[in-house]
Amino acid sequence: MERIKQNLSQEELALKANLSRGAIGKIERYEVSPTIESLEKIALALKIDFLDLVNIKKFDL
């Protein structure tokens, strides 16, 4: 999990992403389906590409 790799607590990620710690926890436990907006905030907070966060392969069209 990228948050753990970066040695961030749920609280720290929540602050960086402007989300609640509860929201981060629910997303990590697959209790909710996050919005695209929330995923974008998390990707920016983790400084990773959005597509890497959602594990979508990049294709040349």
Tens digits of per-residue pLDDT, 10-51? 999 999 999 999 999 999 999 999 999 999 999 999 999 998
- Residue 6 falls within a domain, yes or no? yes
Is the pLDDT assigned to residue 61 strictly greater than 60? no
- Residue 60 falls within a domain, yes or no? no
pLDDT at position 1, please?
A: 86
Q: Which residues contact 13 (CB under 8 A, 6 or more apart)?
A: 3, 19, 24, 42, 45, 46
- Residue 20 falls within a domain, yes or no? yes
- Domains held by the chain: number: 1
pLDDT at position 58, please?
A: 60
- Residue 59 falls within a domain, yes or no? no
Token pair in block for residue 3: 């948050």
Q: What is the CATH number of the domain that holds 35?
A: 1.10.260.40
pLDDT at position 17, please?
A: 98
Find, among 56, 57, 55, 58, the residue nearest to 1 by Cα.
55
| Domain of 39, in residue numbers | 2-53
Local structure of residue 7 (DSSP, 8 states): T
